[in-house]
Amino acid sequence: MKILVINAGSSSLKYQLFDMDTGEVIAKGLCEKIGIDGAITHKRPGREDYHAEVTFRDHDDAIALVLKLLTDKDLGVISDLSEIDAIGNRVAHGGEKLRRSMLVGDEEIQYLYSIVGINPLHGPPAIKGIEACRRQMPGKPLACVFDTSYYATLPDYAYIYPLPYEYYEKYLIRRYGFHGTSHRYVTGRVSELCGRPLEELKVITCHLGNGSSITATKYGKAVDTSMGFTPQEGLPMGTRSGSVDPTVIPYIARMEGLTPDETDKMLNGKSGLLGISGVSSDCREVRAAAEAGNDRARLALDVLVYDIKKLIGSYIAAMNGVDVLVFTAGIGENDRDLRRRVCAEMDFFGIAIDEAVNENAPRGKEVDISAPGSRVRTFVIPTDEEYMIALDTMKLVTK
């Protein structure tokens, strides 16, 4: 069975074609600058990459070219589109109604339109990607896998904000949580790596990338997560502030004369690692600057490490313990020093890592970095959201 996974952003579209019999990616690529001008990079394992500057008026143009390349005589990997059994779309937000991966049709797409207001950044491009797939491959089973659906199990006291309750009723203001597909994937791997069912485990997963979130999963169910109504809450990220005293925000807006949209841009685009360090949103560049003596870069990393520790501690309290701690995504998988610092002086919780194993953990591999005898097992697990989407899609079409 072959599954095409699509992840559409506002001006980009990523794709991966999986052969589910082997679990391998047989082609993948990236369409960029959609609606601006356009470029495509098309990759096939073991063969030379193909790159072209093209014109993408919209997501339909991008999907059309992807399908053409996949079936191209020289650059393709399949001879006909009928070889693709189904399409899996990544969708950030499923709102309060779409709470599991599902095959979608008109009704679900209408619902996605209706919640664009609470998901203005990621909603419209995801819908464009879905609509483009429907037009270019009519009748092909089309699944959506929502970042939010992993959090359908959150208890109400973990998702209701202490604001007037009417805003939850009127505007659906609550914690939704994001990155759920990544947290679900690595949590699933934990069970495999520990040889124990998830129903026996308390797991804390740290997805640390450009966007970062931490999730607590107790006995197989997500019970809390750091991102909230939007992917803005929780940890400081590349350019996003994460949590701050809410009153600071209108105060800055008044002092600087910012509109609500400008305030959003400041919180989303100028804060986090970039905001504190003034150097970069990229953790590697912030680290390099800190090592070269830049004190604000040092401070940005210190804030990040401190906030990760505090969240881990709070989830240990929420679950009355933890059995497994996981690091994943760009920073979590690669930044050894950050992992070392997060896990330092956590022996009260039973968390201790083997510094040599952590230091030498090979990139892109699943590694148990726990110190011998530590009560909590700590893993580095590369995330694979696309594979998770392909798996969900396969399950839906073979049901």
Annotated catalytic residues are: 147
| The one among 5, 112, 283, 297 contacting ligand ADP by CB under 6 A | 283
Residue nearer to ligand ADP on the CB measure, 61 or 335 = 335
263 binds ligand ADP, rule: CB under 6 A:
no
Query: How many amino acids of this chain bind ligand ADP (CB under 6 A)?
Result: 12
How many CB atoms sit inside 10 A of residue 397's CB?
A: 18
Report the distance separating Cα 210 and Cα 320, nearest Å: 30
- 335 is a site residue for ligand ADP (CB under 6 A): yes
Sort strands 50-53 and 39-43 into parallel, antiparallel or unpaired. Answer: antiparallel
Q: How far is the CB of 215 from ligand ADP (least distance, A)?
A: 15
Interface segment toward ligand ADP; rule CB under 6 A; list 111-119, 328-336, 345-353, 370-378: 328-336
**Considering the rule CB under 6 A, would residue 329 count as an interface residue with ligand ADP?**
yes
Pick the binder of ligand ADP from 88, 125, 275, 330 (CB under 6 A). 330
284 binds ligand ADP per the rule CB under 6 A: yes
Of 10, 12, 191, 210, which lies in the binding site for ligand ADP, with binding defined by CB under 6 A? Answer: 210
Q: Is 86 helix (H, G, I), strand (E, B) or coil?
A: strand
Non-local (6+) Cβ contacts of 369 within 8 A are 339, 353, 354, 357, 358, 361, 378, 379, 380
Judged by CB under 6 A, the residue of 209, 228, 242, 275 near ligand ADP is: 209
Q: How far is the CB of 237 from ligand ADP (least distance, A)?
A: 8
Would you put residue 188 in left (φ > 0), alpha (ψ -120 to 50) or beta?
Answer: alpha
CA–CA distance, 24 with 18 (Å, rounded to integer): 6
- Tell me which residues in 149-208 interact with ligand ADP (CB under 6 A): none
- How far is 397 from 103, CA to CA, in rounded Å? 8
Q: Cβ-closest residue to ligand ADP?
A: 330
* Longest Cα separation, the chain: 61
Residue 238 lies near ligand ADP (rule: CB under 6 A): yes
**Token pair listed for 139:** 């009748």
Is 385 a binding residue for ligand ADP by CB under 6 A? The answer is no
Residue 296 CB-density burial (10 A; 0-12 exposed, 13-18 middle, 19+ buried): middle
Q: CB 131 → ligand ADP: shortest distance, Å?
A: 24
| Binding residue (CB under 6 A) for ligand ADP from 29, 123, 211, 231 | 211
Residues 6+ apart with CB under 8 A from 89: 5, 6, 7, 8, 104, 126, 129, 130, 133, 142, 143, 144, 145, 389
Residues in contact with ligand ADP by CB under 6 A are 209-211, 238, 282-284, 329-331, 334-335
